[in-house]
Amino acid sequence: MKINPERLLGDLRQLRSFGATGPGVVRLALSPVDIEARQWLAARMADAGLDPVIDGVGTVFGRSRKPGPALLIGSHTDTQPTGGWLDGALGVMVGLEVARALAENDETRDVAVDVASWIDEEGTFAGFLGSRSFVGDPVEETISSATSRDGQRLADALASAGLSGRPRVRFDASRHIAYLEPHIEQGGRLEAAGKSIGVVTSIVGIRELRLRFTGQRNHAGTTPMSIRRDAGAALVAFIGRMDEAFRQLADADTVWTVGRIELDPGSLSVVPGQADLYLQFRDANAQRLWAMEAKLAELVADFNAQGGVSVALTAADAAEEPVAMDEALQAHLARAAETVAPGQWMRMPSGASHDAQIIARSMPACMVFVPSIGGVSHDFIEDTAEEHIVLGCRVAAEAAAAILLAHRSS
């Protein structure tokens, strides 16, 4: 398969201009600049021979004019508040280039490739809103109640963009046979291994929990150490025990993060009476996640048995279970990677969440990664070498052609 690297890179650079901030991009979901970018993307889809719509939640969906079966390729074009230029955007523009490339090739000109830019993968209002709507999740209550961090209502943002009441695109079981999401790795594994392509095996599950330590607020100068019930000190001590216990359960892909600590009242002259620890851990192995949850509950029980400061464990967000990528699609990607970049690819889990984990509920799904320079993402300096962007697109095009032609002949 032949792609047009200049066309691909040119589109990526043009998309980067919407919300460009230094080397990065600020293009929050449904912001005016995001809507402007979506309108531009819809026009590029039309130029490529697709029939584009911006649906009732803001997803841009380009439907091939060819009859199915169709391969759906996509990702997202909204960003984090301090976002990089390729997170999500790469997958959408690779999808568009693959659709054009297959249409320009004699052997594949009659196959159908649909392209999507899902809305709000990054969770400005509600994470994975577009892909959840697509697979039929009941998002109506979310649309009516969700707000952004600055207090804007999702319903008002949709109304301001002129999207309220529009139909929402939905999965078509008679048309869509598989989903492919190209993406930057957002980590440093490929770079460290000297590889150029990652064939994703699974998307990790996530647990987000809050541990609240309750002691006794008191004067920091007049309360002897021997009688203190210091919630902050207890929290710090607990982290050490938790870290040691998790290391005994973990493998090389297990990660855990204390992302936020809050002390009450947070004064240098007051012994904290309450301390909150917000914890996240991720793994692609569901049994290991359950073991980590059980170990955490055991540590809490042991801690409470000691007296002095008590700790309560609650969920901070709904649990996300690991999602395996379709093995047959992985095989297509692996063969494409070996054809395009022999010896330069590896299988690997995704440590980040993606729309593919939502789409996988409705149809077989797969992902392909390209390296992130320095392993950096969700930051203005996020970047990927142009040669890797092009290589990833070539792998995606080879795999897309193979998936569609295999389905046609089956």
Q: Is 76 annotated as a binding residue?
A: yes
Looking up residue 303, the CATH number of its domain turns out to be 3.30.70.360
pLDDT > 90? residue 410:
no
42 and 167, same domain (yes or no): yes
54 and 137, same domain (yes or no): yes
Q: Is 114 annotated as a binding residue?
A: no
- DSSP per-residue string spanning 171-239: --TTTEEEEEEEEE-SSSHHHHHT-SEEEEEEE-EEEEEEEEEE---EETTTS-GGG---HHHHHHHHH
142 and 281, same domain (yes or no): no
Looking up residue 344, the CATH number of its domain turns out to be 3.40.630.10
Q: Is 354 annotated as a binding residue?
A: no
Sort 385 into a burial class: Cβ within 10 Å, 0-12 / 13-18 / 19+. middle
pLDDT digits (tens, 9 = 90+) for 207-265: 999 999 999 999 999 999 999 999 999 999 999 999 999 999 999 999 999 999 999 99
Q: Is 378 annotated as a binding residue?
A: yes
Please tell me the predicted confidence (pLDDT) of residue 186.
97
Task: List the domain range (segments joined by +) for residue 102.
Answer: 5-204+322-409
Cβ neighbour number for residue 295 with a 10 Å cutoff: 15
252 and 360, same domain (yes or no): no
244 and 294, same domain (yes or no): yes
187 and 146, same domain (yes or no): yes
Please tell me the predicted confidence (pLDDT) of residue 61.
98
Nearest to 188 by CA among 337, 351, 78, 9: 351
Q: What is this structure's pTM?
A: 0.93
pLDDT digits (tens, 9 = 90+) for 24-33: 999 999 999 9
Distances from the Cα of 13 to the Cα of 16, 23, 86, 160, 350, angstroms: 5, 11, 10, 27, 26
Q: What six digits make up the tokens of 165?
A: 């009441």
175 and 189, same domain (yes or no): yes
26 and 106, same domain (yes or no): yes
186 and 243, same domain (yes or no): no
pLDDT digits (tens, 9 = 90+) for 93-103: 999 999 999 99
